Structure 1
Amino acid sequence: MSESQQHSPSSPAVPGGTGSLAGHRVARIGYGAMRLVADDRSSDLDWSGQPDEGAVRLLRRAVELGVDHIDTADFYGGGRVNQLIRTALAPYDDVVVATKIGARLDPGSPIGLATAQKPEELRQSVEDNLRSLGTDHLSLVYLRRTDIPPGIIAEGDQLVPVDDQLAELISLRDAGTVGAIGLGNVTAETIRHAAPAGIAAVQNAYSLVARDDEPALAACQELDIAWVPYFPLGGSWPGHPKVSDQPAVQEIATRLGVTTSAVGLAWLLVHAPNILLISGTSNIEHLEANLRVGSVQLDQAALAVLDELVPIVTDQAR
Structure 2
Amino acid sequence: MAFHPNLDPELRAALEQAPLESFDWSAMTYQELADQRAQITAMMAAAPLPETRVTVEDRTVPGPEGQPDVRLRIYQPPEPGEDRPALYWIHGGGMIIGAPEMDDAMMIGYVERLGVVGVSVDYRLAPDHPHPAPVEDCYAGLAWTAKNAAELGIDPARVIVGGASAGGGLAAATVLLARDRGGPEILFQLLVYPMLDDRNSTPSSQEFTDAVIWDRGANLFGWTALLGDRMGTDDVPPYAAPARATDLSGLPPAFVDVGELEVFRDECFDYALRLVRAGVSTEFHLNPGAFHGSEMMVPDATISVRTREAREAALRRALGL
Scaled by the length of structure 2, the TM-score of the pair is 0.34
Bigger fraction of residues in strand: 2
Pick 1 or 2: higher relative contact order, CA cutoff 8 A, min separation 6: 1
Task: Please report the TM-score for the alignment, with normalisation by the length of structure 1.
Answer: 0.34
